[in-house]
A and B are shown apart, each in its own frame.
Chain A
Amino acid sequence: MPDLISTSKLSKSFGGLVAVNRVDFQVPEGQVAGVIGPNGSGKTTLFNLLSGYFRPTAGSVRFLGKEVTDQPPYARVGMGMARTFQLVSVFNSLSVWENLVLSSFHRRQQGSRLGSFFFKPAREASTLADCRQALETVRLQDKAGVFTSELSYGDKRMLEIAIALSLQPKLLLLDEPLAGLSDHEIGEVLQLLHEVKDNFTLVIIEHKISKITDLVQRLSVMNEGSLICEGEPGAVLCDPNVRECYWGRETDAC
């Protein structure tokens, strides 16, 4: 399988702090890859570099065989990349269904449909059908008319994932999708990810390693900005370096 996304000697510094240090990271098409590492190890910065939120200090990013290092985020989304954020990021001042209008319109608007973009109501049958379909995948269709600010944190997380899914991406980057959720909600998110993971390539940052070991086929571990270990989840979690940086020296052997 060719690499869907790959980086070469990717680095990002903030002043004197090197957040990501010469990282070579590849994800083959169709794979579910996990990125783990202690707090401040550069996982989210890596995501921000992959998705175009930051420009790297050095190195390059290739997506779908093309160099995208200098491409802005919206261009990468146009190529088929979608992401979620560590702190759930939905539009609180819009109602739930309105949150899905832009992503579903972006997907449909491949032709020149400027007239309907500017002059047709967003609340129109075909757009609403798209929003409904997207909401049904996360079982939020009953709350479509509610203001997003009234949703619980877990529902907002589900909505954010629904927005990303409705872009029908080739690559989905999930930044700590389980953070701040109850056990029940974690179960729901994981079930959803198991259902949809075959439709695209998935990269997932997560702290709750035990929850995602079933999901991911490959695990990458970051520490202090560098990629220190990569491979099958079982093997990676037994690696002495990984165990030391993650759980400290005093841990039982694998």
Chain B
Amino acid sequence: MHNIAVHQQSFPVQPAQRFLVFRDMAIIAAAFLALSLFTPLYWLTDFAVMCILVLSFDLLYGYMGHLSFGHMLYFGAGAYMASLALLHLAPNPFLAILAGLVCGAALSAVVGFVVVRTSGAAFALVNLAFNQIGYWLALSGLQDYTHGEDGLPSSVEALWFLDFRQAPVAFGFMLVCLLLVFWLLKTLTASPYGIVVRSIKENEDRVKFLGYNTFRYKWLTFVISSTLAAFAGSLYALVKGFVAPSDVNPLENTRIIFSVLIGGAGNLYGALVGSVAFEMISNLLATTIARWEMILGLMLLALVFWFRRGITGYAYQLYLDRSYERLVKFAQGMGLSLRRQK
């Protein structure tokens, strides 16, 4: 059926090089360390936590195409559960993180069963509704546990060298957690599972006709994403030693969505660049301009009109265009003319 020449040609796609993820992790660590030269460490600690939260959101929105206005619910649930574990069980940081993770996973497993049946605007709004319920519970429904508006203070005991009151230790710990989350998401999104998720974004029905129960994968993705958000929440509780209803406030979802849009959705680097950029901007502007949110509004307009794919998407396009131009010039030098292939 085929001639031998076909088999002798090399296939244009080569197996992935698995060390690349470690190179990227080294780059992320180096970037954070470089930032620490001129940025306060407690800022960077917050940035790392925010990065985890935004990365978790990127799996749901950027990769699977499900925009949620209720991601803060899981962040808040993780934060509250970690604080409660610190207060009532033991002041052990790892126990608190475990409690936050279990809480996020259990909550999203139940809620996911409902929300994953919807998509598009309905998905965003049903999630917002659940987030609003969670906000109310933190504020008054579960006041006996959450202390309502007063918030919930907690303290962690130092474990060996792990003392969260020391800024470098807290920063180092959050950075390691961020790298772990990055490794996990990078591995998942490069796997066949990642292709299922990206395929669901484009055409869910078609995925069913390849033999996949898409409901199960959407649910699973929702749970993974939410559990990682709860992980970020429990880390937040450890660093701050205080959780308040504002940490479950549905309005805070705009921060996450903004960060992903600024950085560029659907690639993990975008989530990282976006959340660092957003946190930098909001931290710096808030101290200088009273109504700094206005600048954010203008930035959103600019994003929608000119930079749909965010900073990383724009940079990548620039890279492609430049390298293409260079190739054309080189070819012209060789007496060839190159046209972009259809």
Contact = CB atoms under 8 A, between A and B. Distances in A.
A231 to B, nearest CB: 30
A46 B309 CA distance: 41
Contacts of B214: 74
Interface in A138-197: 139, 141-145, 150, 152, 163, 167, 195
Contact of A102 (B12, B212, B213): B212
Interface stretch (B67-75, B190-198, B254-262, B288-296): B190-198
A101 B6 contact: no
A111 interface: no
A124 B201 contact: no
A93 interface: yes
Contact of B205 (A53, A119, A120): A53
Identify whether the interface residues of A are mostly helix, strand, loop, or mixed: helix
Given A93-B198, A141-B9, A163 B210 contact: yes
A102 B342 contact: no
Contacts of B193: 117-118
Interface string A40-51: 000000000001
A91 B206 contact: yes
A18 interface: no
B206 A78 contact: no
Contacts of A91: 198-199, 202-203, 206
Interface string B100-114: 000000000000000
A51 B190 CA distance: 30
Contacts of A53: 205, 209
Chain B interface size range: 35 or more
B326 interface: no
Contacts of A139: 6
A106 B13 contact: no
B194 A122 contact: yes
A68 interface: no
Given A78-B211, A121-B190, A122-B191, A136 B6 contact: yes
Contacts of A127: 192
Nearest to A95: B13
Nearest to B200: A91
Given A118-B188, A118-B191, A123 B12 contact: no
Contacts of B1: 137, 195
B11 interface: yes
Contact of B11 (A118, A121, A141): A141
A148 to B, nearest CB: 10
A92 interface: yes
A103 interface: yes
A122 B15 CA distance: 9
Given A117-B191, A118-B188, A77 B209 contact: yes
Q: State the 3 A-B residue pairs at the shortest beta-carbon distance, nearest first.
A: A77-B211, A123-B16, A145-B12
Interface of A: 51, 53, 72-74, 77-78, 82-83, 85, 89, 91-95, 97-98, 101-103, 105-106, 116-125, 127-128, 131-132, 136-137, 139, 141-145, 150, 152, 163, 167, 195
24 contacts: A77-B210, A78-B211, A85-B206, A89-B203, A91-B198, A91-B199, A93-B201, A94-B195, A98-B195, A102-B192, A103-B210, A106-B211, A117-B192, A117-B193, A120-B191, A122-B194, A124-B15, A128-B11, A128-B15, A131-B13, A141-B11, A142-B12, A144-B13, A167-B211
